[in-house]
Chain A
Amino acid sequence: MQKQSVFHSPLLPFLLIAPQVGIVLVFFYWPALQAVWQSFLLQDAFGLSTTFVAFENYAELLQQPEYFNAIVRTFAFSALIAGSSLSFALLLAVMADKPLRGVGLYRTLLIWPYAVAPAVAGVLWMFMLHPSLGVLARGLRNMGLDWNPLLNGNHAVILVVLAAAWKQISYNFLFFLAGLQSIPKSVLEAAAIDGAGPMRRFWTVTFPLLTPTIFFLIVVNIVYAFFDTFGIIDAMTGGGPAKSTETLVYKVYLDGLLGGNLGSSAAQSVLLMVIVIGLTAIQFRYVERKVTY
């Protein structure tokens, strides 16, 4: 945790740490506490009076089928995004881990989408699959599919998942590749000598040794699906049609934007914090990663 040999100075460490502590206090703890405090308050419609209502906001929130739906929807989104992006990235990483010519080039060409902003990714995919002008939508219609994510909720979900998964491929690819490269070649060689073919080697040796990376990426992808998809959703669907793409974070945003119920919005924020803290705890607890590069 700390060095054996340290400097001694009464004032300097505090000066060094002051900027960070200041910002953390003003922009993290103060708002977080306010959120917690507000979640216990109820404001009347005109914002004239506030009363302390303890957990009423929470109770009301959890009784709303709408909120419950948003929770289910968010987890479904997470599962779809993580599942599709991880499997595709794993396939690519396994291929790129082979001793092929030009692997360095492949890697470069596969990692750059990491740098694309989620909102921009949303715009790109929206443009491709836009019901009236999208190039791919044209193809789908020619195949007899009535593709319209602006009206059809399922289509909107698919659209958001595609864009979100697309953007996350490069991240997952990089970590899978790092994980694969950290598997000692001698283990695979031993398996080969033991008579295991390439497919068998993958499922009996590589995959089990990759599980720490997989667990880690699942958590990261869930967190990503929770928060970073905000830009994608806002750029593509605005939560619609008919709330079919309204995730928890998006709901906090919309409810707050409409300005209506501050207490309920705060309670939502607090519940989100609890979920994030839970996810982070899982990440620390179960994910003993050894990624070497």
Chain B
Amino acid sequence: MVERQGIRGLVAHLILWVGIAVVAFPVYLAFVASTQDAASIANGQMSLLPGGHFLETYTRTIFVGTSGSTREPVGVMLFNSLVMALVIALGKIAISILSAYAIVYFRFPFRMWIFWMIFITLMLPVEVRIYPTYKIAADLNMLDSYAGLTLPLIASATATLLFRQFFMTVPDELLEASRIDGAGPLRFFWDTLLPLSRTNIAALFVILFIYGWNQYLWPLLITTRDDMQTIVIGIRKMITTSDALTEWPMVMATAVLAMLPPVLVVIVMQRLFVHGLVETEK
């Protein structure tokens, strides 16, 4: 449309930059804090420009850890978070794509029952059934283990529904052509359906990786040992109730490190991220 840009365009740019500033400022501040010395932060005289302690703070954070409440180096926590995020993302994708394949491409007894059984779990976030689930994980000896950290979060109706929806759009003729070409169910899945689902798998991976990385309540309960902590839990534990003991530069460095992987994933794979977000919410 022909429209006088001029002042109105300027206002739009301005508002967007204000928005970006609001969104970015807390993170910028965290980064600045992580490069300064603890004393100047603790007395409330922090500068708004980066200081000179970048390398020192980050090496100590990653390899040594705080001397306060958690003694584990953040490197270990990063590893735990990575394992958790990867297992959750890949596990969800794997079991969802298989079950969606069964539901869409086979006819078998109780098919609709099973579909609804999976579908209903959409409505039961882990938060509402937290203690009974905890108890079961404890009974199964899963406390302080990667299995306990990930398995209860792996079942996902969202991913199953997404794959089901996608499979429904795959033309029937592809299956028929495959059957005429002599491909059985597993071969059709492997040779045709899986390659066709690549984009959806990647998009889902981005969303689920972030979901897994950012888990809080469940890992908080299931991990008691410091060396099983994820980074998101670790930060929380670094902040002690008595402010004097909190090593703020390292807390902020940890916060930056905790944000870095998922934020990078979003920025680098923006197209897939948007696709995944819009698809999973359908």
Contacts and interface: CB of A to CB of B under 8 A. Distances in A.
Q: A and B: direct contact (Cβ < 8 Å)? A: yes
Interface of A: 2-10, 12-14, 16-17, 19-21, 23-24, 26-32, 34-35, 38, 88, 91-92, 95-96, 98, 100, 106, 108-121, 123-128, 130, 132-135, 138, 166, 169-171, 174-175, 178, 185, 188-189, 192, 198, 216, 220, 227, 230-231, 234-235, 249, 252-253, 256, 262, 265-266, 269, 272-273, 276-277, 280, 289, 291, 293
Contact of A16 (B8, B102, B125): B102
A115 to B, nearest CB: 4
B19 A88 contact: yes
B23 A189 contact: no
B243 A132 contact: yes
Contacts of B19: 88, 91-92, 95, 110, 169
Contacts of B102: 12-14, 16-17
B277 A27 contact: no
30 contacts: A3-B105, A3-B168, A5-B172, A6-B175, A7-B185, A12-B186, A20-B95, A27-B152, A27-B155, A28-B155, A31-B136, A96-B16, A108-B267, A111-B270, A114-B277, A115-B213, A117-B259, A118-B216, A120-B255, A120-B259, A123-B235, A133-B44, A134-B44, A138-B44, A231-B232, A252-B128, A252-B131, A276-B124, A291-B278, A293-B278
B117 A133 contact: no
B27 interface: yes
Contacts of A115: 210, 213-214, 259, 262-263, 265-266
Contact of A166 (B23, B94, B137, B275): B23
A26 B167 CA distance: 27
Nearest to A249: B127
Interface of B: 1, 3, 8-9, 12-13, 15-16, 19-20, 22-27, 29-30, 33, 41-44, 46, 48, 94-96, 98-99, 101-108, 111, 114, 117-118, 121-125, 127-133, 135-137, 140, 151-152, 154-155, 160, 167-168, 172, 175-176, 179, 184-186, 188, 210, 213-214, 216-217, 220, 232-233, 235-236, 239, 243, 248, 251-252, 255, 258-259, 262-263, 265-267, 270, 273-275, 277-278, 281-282
Given A28-B121, A114-B266, A272-B127, 15 more contacts: A2-B103, A3-B104, A7-B185, A24-B155, A27-B133, A35-B128, A92-B15, A120-B255, A120-B259, A128-B25, A234-B236, A235-B239, A266-B132, A272-B128, A277-B123
Contacts of A192: 1
Given A7-B185, A20-B95, A24-B117, A266 B131 contact: yes
A247 to B, nearest CB: 10
A277 B184 CA distance: 40
A119 B155 contact: no
A249 B262 CA distance: 25
Contacts of B135: 31, 34
Given A127-B29, A227-B125, A16 B98 contact: yes
Contacts, number: 297
Contact of B131 (A21, A111, A234, A265): A265
Contact of A3 (B41, B95, B172): B172
B235 A169 contact: no
Contacts of B41: 133
A185 B8 CA distance: 19
Contacts of A174: 274, 277-278
A189 B46 contact: no
Contacts of B155: 20, 23-24, 27-28
Nearest to A122: B236
Contacts of A231: 214, 216-217, 232
A116 B259 CA distance: 6
